[in-house]
Amino acid sequence: MPANKYAGVVVDQVHPSLDKLFHYSIPENLAGQVQVGVRVQVPFGRRHVQGYVLSLDDEPGVSEEKIKPIRKVLDHDPALNSSVVPLITWMKAEYNCMMIEAIRCLIPPGMRLNLRGKTQKTAIISDPDQVDEWVRAVEGYSAGMASILRILQQYDSMPVQELIDLSGASRSSIQSLEKRGYIVIEEEDIYRDPWPVIHGPTRPPVFNQEQEAAAKKIGECIRKGSGIILLRGVTGSGKTEVYMKAAEDAIALNKQVIVLVPEISLTPQTVSRFKGRFGDQVAILHSRLSLGERYDEWRKIRSNEVQIVVGARSAVFAPMERLGLIILDEAHEDSYKSESRPRYHARDVAKKRCELDGAVLVLGSATPALEDYHRALLGEYHLVEMINRADYQALPPVEIIDMRRELEMGNRSMFSDTLYQALNDTLSRGEQSIILLNRRGYARFVSCRSCGYVIKCHNCDVSLTYHAKGQALKCHYCGYTEMYPKVCPECGSKYIRHFGMGTQKVEEELKSLFPAARLLRMDADTTGRKGAHYKILDAFEREEYDILLGTQMVAKGLDFPKVTLVGVLAADAALNLPDYRSCEKTFQLITQVAGRAGRGDRPGRVVVQSYQPEHYAIQFAARHDYTGFFNREIQIRHQFNYPPYSHIIRVLISGEREKELIQFAKNMVKWLKKRIENTDLLKKGLLDLGAYQAPIGRIKNKYRWQVLIRIRADWKFRDAYHRLTDELDGEFYNDSLTVALDFNPLSLL
Ligand code: ADP
Ligand code: ZN
Ligand code: ZN
């Protein structure tokens, strides 16, 4: 086959006008090396830039005389393996990103910076059979050289430094041996181990019936090479063991596995369990690794030295070539969605990769995202449920405390009588407690401490948001505004206010209530440094502390057998965020944190404090009733046309000049209206469209407005609107404003 003469290259420059293939000729001396996926250096204007070859052609694509040759091929192996190349065009269409932004997801930043992986000098014996002879030749005048040869006779090769340490010989002995040709010195890659914790190997437990059935279903799909499984298993049902069995099945078929966890530092136990079971077959990828560490892990995966990758969101791009299985643990977590460009969702990228590679996707959760469960019920996913804990322990009973009554009874403390007593009992039994302070939504909505009334919009089913500027309450779906009331519109009480309560304040109160308790706080302030999460969780696991107090961070994935009490403060804080997902998030949070109690042999207990104890999200969570919650919530979504019954497209515009910004947003709406008016499909798909100030009106001196488009949930409308937003991207590019487009954003704040 004659070699291709031309290559289409994406240059490593982020600018919309450069988001296309540039054509270069392939010089003869590089003909064998230029393939799809390789990183190259090409002339660009007056400079040389990096780029990636995405196509090979026989025709130049532009006029022959304009074309320039590729200058260099930068890596030995293609940076992008063939199985991930199709993801680039898919991401461009799906997330309105540039090709180079998609490519940058697929390669480690260390590679672009041409960081060299760490290497070390290694001595290798040239011919083991001749060692006796060589030893006789040198031992008369150099004991060191002889000793080196003896060691290498036994080990064949050894890093030079270790060899010096072990033999006691000098560096010059090594050099002499090299000169004589007895040994050769080579640079060998060394990989830094980013998970240096030592684990004994663990054995799989004997599965219960539900685990058996789940593993069987996943195994069948893996052998078939297709399928998406939604694994809903209550907290402690033994999902992680099922994941590990699935991984084993895939590896047995010579396939590779990606395991995604919401955030590595918060789920050290999951990582440790995979490392413990699979040892060196596991690589770990996450954003807290140094660039060098990340590059090391990536190269290990790229050269097919590992079978399993465990990592956070970005690990969905791991360069596996024989992918057979992707697992998303706690698949409902928001951290799977990227909040910066490209705004991808790891679940959707995983789906696409599985489709391209003939792999199986497992979405595991105790509280699946509403849209995922909805899809499972529609038959798009296989639904597998595990409703019992692994060894049939009971799920802990949950008591809901009405904090309005506490106030009536004169208790102004943050702790109800019940929670105080429960903490006291737990401490005196020498057991551990977790206290969760729900900070999401803190200080943003206004409610009455006397009757629980929350001020809502007249036009929409969302609470109004407090804006400190002008003491106003606003709806950011429709723009409705009213003044901050002096008394509760419902009961006339003057205890109406926006809420504020921080972990530090709770810590102080706990200290004064239980001076002898050993208290550990985990929040954004105490976890800034690298490794801080791990240290905190580790200390708690080793029972150096009695109470772990924290924000959402303490709700996830932890398996501590000594924890018998979980307390939740301000359980309802997030219920009133101006967000259609606030009930779902609240239900998930309470169910998840409740699941931390009673995982050992002692029964657990959960106390949830709330100002809206009758709210269905809290009631269903207290009963551990996922399907009850689902049925109720999906009805509301249907009624108000929220996802999954609609898609929301948000264009967030931010910039320093407010007037210009508002005009820009209004022009955008005008332009959209006109385009929609003139296209039948767009018109049919539209639910509503408008420009509004964002609920957080200014961040870091930049004003924020958003254009919201809500459309009917149907693929044909979705595609039509994708094409519209593509056009919009080109039409409304502006150097002084930031325009961020997001399909189904997780938050509208
Ligand atoms: P999940 O991920 O669903 O919360 P885990 O996999 O963490 O559940 O399992 C909860 C606990 O039960 C763990 O300590 C695990 O070792 C244990 N476990 C899992 N499966 C079994 C089993 N079949 N028999 C006994 N213990 C089990
Ligand atoms: Zn009131
Ligand atoms: Zn409204």
Mutate to test the pocket of ligand 1, among 559, 562, 593, 626 (most ligand atoms within 8 A of CB): 559
Q: How confident is the model at residue 525 (pLDDT cuts 50, 70, 90)?
A: low
Nearest atom, ligand 1, residue 233 CA: 3
pLDDT score, position 442? 44
Q: Closest Cα partner for 573 from 641, 506, 653, 642?
A: 506
Alpha helices in 314-472 (DSSP H): 346-357, 370-377, 403-408, 417-428
Nearest atom, ligand 1, residue 241 CA: 6
State how far the Cα of 252 lies from the Cα of 139, in Å rounded to an integer.
50
Nearest atom, ligand 1, residue 595 CA: 4
Q: How confident is the model at residue 118 (pLDDT cuts 50, 70, 90)?
A: low
Q: How confident is the model at residue 193 (pLDDT cuts 50, 70, 90)?
A: low
Structure confidence by residue, pLDDT tens digits, 567-582:
999 878 777 766 788 8
CA quadruple 107, 110, 111, 116: dihedral sign: negative
Q: Which residues surround ligand 3, an ion (CB under 5 A)?
A: 457, 459-460, 475, 477-478, 480
Residue 236 in contact with ligand 1 by CB distance below 6 A? yes
For the chain, how far is it from start to end, CA to CA, in angstroms?
57
Q: Closest Cα partner for 376 from 335, 333, 323, 332?
A: 332
Query: Over 90: is that where the pLDDT of 310 sits?
Result: yes
Cross-sheet strand order for the sheet of 738-743? 686-699, 702-712, 646-655, 738-743
For residue 692, what are the β-bridge partners? Answer: 706
How many A from CA of 221 to the centre of ligand 1? 23
Q: What is the pTM of this model?
A: 0.80
How many A from CA of 91 to the centre of ligand 3? 33
Q: Could you tell me the two tokens for 736?
A: 């002084």
By the 8 A CB rule, do 621 and 587 touch? yes
Which residue do the tokens 């002339």 mark?
43
pLDDT score, position 248? 97
Query: Over 60: is that where the pLDDT of 456 sits?
Result: yes
Nearest atom, ligand 1, residue 243 CA: 6
Q: Could you tell me the two tokens for 410?
A: 């004169």
Q: Could you tell me the two tokens for 279?
A: 């040892």
Q: How confident is the model at residue 441 (pLDDT cuts 50, 70, 90)?
A: very low
Distances (CA, A) of 528 to 101, 340, 388, 523: 28, 21, 37, 9
By the 8 A CB rule, do 563 and 601 touch? no
Note the Cα 419 to chain centre separation in Å. 33
Q: What integer best gives the mean pLDDT of the chain?
A: 87
- Residue with the larger pLDDT of the pair 647 and 117: 647
Q: Which ligand is nearest to the CA of 463?
A: 3
Residue 235 in contact with ligand 1 by CB distance below 6 A? yes
Residue 208 in contact with ligand 1 by CB distance below 6 A? yes
- Residue with the larger pLDDT of the pair 389 and 258: 258
Residue 561 in contact with ligand 1 by CB distance below 6 A? no
Residue 367 in contact with ligand 1 by CB distance below 6 A? no
Residue 390 in contact with ligand 1 by CB distance below 6 A? yes
pLDDT score, position 162? 81
By the 8 A CB rule, do 484 and 471 touch? yes
How many A from CA of 475 to the centre of ligand 2? 20
Residue 207 in contact with ligand 1 by CB distance below 6 A? yes
Residue 569, number of CB atoms within 10 A of its CB: 23
Long-range contacts of 677-681 (CB under 8 A, 24+ apart): 679/720, 681/716, 681/717, 681/720
Burial of 29 per CB tally in 10 Å (0-12, 13-18, 19+): exposed
Which residues does 314 contact at the CB level (< 8 Å), separation at least 6?
105, 285, 286, 287
Query: Over 70: is that where the pLDDT of 444 sits?
Result: no
How many A from CA of 231 to the centre of ligand 1? 15
State how far the Cα of 645 lies from the Cα of 665, in Å rounded to an integer.
26
pLDDT score, position 103? 96
By the 8 A CB rule, do 456 and 474 touch? no
Distances (CA, A) of 234 to 209, 394, 435, 599, 702: 15, 11, 21, 12, 43
Structure confidence by residue, pLDDT tens digits, 687-730:
999 998 887 666 666 788 999 999 998 889 988 998 898 888 77
State how far the Cα of 417 lies from the Cα of 379, in Å rounded to an integer.
47
**What domains appear along the chain, each with residue ranges and CATH number?**
6-112 (3.40.1440.60), 118-190 (no CATH), 209-386 (3.40.50.300), 398-442+500-637 (3.40.50.300), 646-742 (3.30.70.100)
pLDDT score, position 673? 95
Query: Over 80: is that where the pLDDT of 64 sits?
Result: no
Average of per-residue pLDDT across 534-553: 88
Residue 241 in contact with ligand 1 by CB distance below 6 A? yes
Q: How confident is the model at residue 437 (pLDDT cuts 50, 70, 90)?
A: confident
Residue 273 in contact with ligand 1 by CB distance below 6 A? no
Residue 364 in contact with ligand 1 by CB distance below 6 A? no
Query: Over 90: is that where the pLDDT of 3 sits?
Result: no
pLDDT score, position 432? 95
624 in the Ramachandran plot: left (φ > 0), alpha (ψ -120 to 50) or beta?
left
What percent of the chain has pLDDT above 90? 48
Residue 238 in contact with ligand 1 by CB distance below 6 A? yes
Which residue do the tokens 């789920």 mark?
267
Structure confidence by residue, pLDDT tens digits, 468-481:
566 778 776 667 88
Query: Over 70: is that where the pLDDT of 119 sits?
Result: no
Query: Over 50: is that where the pLDDT of 155 sits?
Result: yes
Q: Which ligand is nearest to the CA of 474?
A: 3
Segment of 55-64, 118-127, 202-211, 495-504 carrying the highest mean pLDDT: 202-211
Mutate to test the pocket of ligand 1, among 207, 211, 240, 393 (most ligand atoms within 8 A of CB): 240
What percent of the chain has pLDDT above 70? 91
For residue 398, what are the β-bridge partners? Answer: 606
Residue 425, number of CB atoms within 10 A of its CB: 14
Q: Closest Cα partner for 691 from 444, 511, 477?
A: 477
Phi, psi of 171, deg, nearest 5? -60, -30
Q: Closest Cα partner for 330 from 246, 402, 449, 231?
A: 231
Q: Could you tell me the two tokens for 665?
A: 């947003």
Residue 205 in contact with ligand 1 by CB distance below 6 A? yes
Query: Over 80: is that where the pLDDT of 238 sits?
Result: yes
Residue 239 in contact with ligand 1 by CB distance below 6 A? yes
State how far the Cα of 672 lies from the Cα of 694, in Å rounded to an integer.
19
Buried/exposed code over 494-519 (b: 16+ C-beta within 10 A; e: otherwise): eebebbebebeebbeebeeebeebee
Structure confidence by residue, pLDDT tens digits, 494-522:
888 776 556 777 888 899 999 999 999 88
Give the DSSP H or E segment for 118.
none
With both helix axes pointing from N to C terminus, report the angle between 268-278 and 532-541 in degrees, rounded to the nearest 10. Answer: 80
How many A from CA of 280 to the centre of ligand 1? 23
State how far the Cα of 682 lies from the Cα of 686, in Å rounded to an integer.
6
pLDDT score, position 529? 67
Which residues does 720 contact at the CB level (< 8 Å), separation at least 6?
679, 681, 682, 685
Query: Over 70: is that where the pLDDT of 117 sits?
Result: no
Nearest CA to ligand 1 atom 10: 236
Nearest atom, ligand 1, residue 234 CA: 3
By the 8 A CB rule, do 505 and 437 touch? no
Residue 240 in contact with ligand 1 by CB distance below 6 A? yes
How many A from CA of 579 to the centre of ligand 3? 11
